[in-house]
Structure 1
């Protein structure tokens, strides 16, 4: 049942949901990395506004979107509060107590930080949330030309992560059946963690042997069951992703709000 569940795929609809996983990963990087260069409200706000079509076309339902991006919606205001209280001070001071000081400069920096967290994080989560690990591995090996052994090994490890929770529950039930699970939570947890570690090593060794026996460690040219595809839609996605930070940062520079992250705040 676990193997069948691992192989089952959810069919997504939407122009971006059907794009190549490598294209979506590259698009997320193209959007996020340039926005790190500046901390200002304008560039982050423009980028966030331009990202809305991408967020709507990623193939996530409303419930999936809010659940997957919930950490960002929590982290953004928390980071803003921290920056407002302890960030660089300038202008009028509105509140001061011990080490906390709220001023015009810290409030502006806090707002920029909050919007920046959303502008960087939302497209990364939305674009990568629906990526199938197997398709991504195929793209990384065939398109990005990463070492096949590394890619396949990483994919296998990701596929086995779901088994850890099942193993933990099985160990807990087995210990409870033996009457050793009712006392000493810390000691029980450490014992189960060690048992899980040993079980993971044994499974990894068996899997490595099986993969070697099937020729996964061969030095010859590898064939792939699922050829990686790349079309004009993937290229268009990269172009759109590159335009978002370019427009956002150009607006910030033109209107004088550009605040280089390594420069004076």
Structure 2
């Protein structure tokens, strides 16, 4: 299942996309202010505790988060070997220097990546791009031309994936994909680039012909409104962010990123 396809069965899908975006930004910005394991760990625990109310199954979360999990583990492993040197040293060999500082920083990075990625995955998994574009234009007053252009580009991502699959099958049927994997991938990527330019040009012409770039106030087929439950979602996100900061301050691990 594509990460760009919203799951309408999820309970979080009923919230306004702008409220979900604000809630995600509150948690993300708070975690970006400090690199410490306590704040990231508290946020991760609270987010995981709230996951059953999101309506997303464990299998769906795994399918959409396993690449991020692998990236977090790889980043933490690199930090353990080449991270900050502090405290007791456990291994030193050339550029490799494993110490208390590198282990603590690796744990903070691992928890931080997971705590940031989970709310973002929930946001993408339960938000229709069209609803998000409606909210950004009507509620946040972003330029309609920019929002609609981004929406059109986002809608084409699925077509690009399908084009890549069809190109692979066509080249395999002609026997081109048997040898030279690097050359095959570069040639296929160039062909996909050409197809993307052609499709983007046609889409831009069609949108201009239908008046998407016309000056003046736009009309919208669907209204985007904020409800009391959307405010509850934002308050919950603010509570998670505040709890993580207070826990880190109480533990004495809160460290601003610019002081590292």
Which band: TM-score by shorter chain? 0.7 to 0.9
Structure with the greater alpha carbon radius of gyration = 1
One of 2, 9, 15 as aligned partner of 1:12? 9
3-state SS of 2:156 partner? helix
Partner of 1:42: 38
1:59 touches 1:130 (CA, 8 Å); kept in 2? no
1:73 aligns with 2:90: no
Give distance in 2, aligned partners of 1:78 and 1:179: 36
Structure 1's 101 and 134: CA in aligned 2 closer, same or farther, altered over 3 A? same
1:148 aligns with 2:139: no
Give distance in 2, aligned partners of 1:76 and 1:103: 19
Partner of 2:204: 208
Partner of 2:102: 106
Structure 1's 182 and 60: CA in aligned 2 closer, same or farther, altered over 3 A? same
Give distance in 2, aligned partners of 1:142 and 1:221: 11
Mean alpha-carbon deviation: is it higher for 216-225 or for 79-88? 79-88
Q: How big is the shift at 1:36?
A: 1.6
1:24 aligns with 2:20: yes
1:55 aligns with 2:87: no
Q: How big is the shift at 1:139?
A: 0.9
Q: How big is the shift at 1:184?
A: 5.7
Structure 1's 168 and 258: CA in aligned 2 closer, same or farther, altered over 3 A? closer
Give distance in 2, aligned partners of 1:244 and 1:75: 24
1:131 aligns with 2:127: yes
3-state SS of 1:51 partner? helix
Q: Alpha-carbon deviations, 1:113-150, whole Å to 9, x = none?
A: 22222222222222332211111111111111111111
Partner of 1:90: 86
3-state SS of 2:91 partner? strand
Partner of 1:5: none
Give distance in 2, aligned partners of 1:180 and 1:52: 47
Q: How big is the shift at 1:70?
A: 1.0
1:221 aligns with 2:217: yes
Q: How big is the shift at 1:207?
A: 2.2
Q: Alpha-carbon deviations, 1:91-122, whole Å to 9, x = none?
A: 22222222222222222222222222222222
One of 164, 180, 184 as aligned partner of 2:160? 164
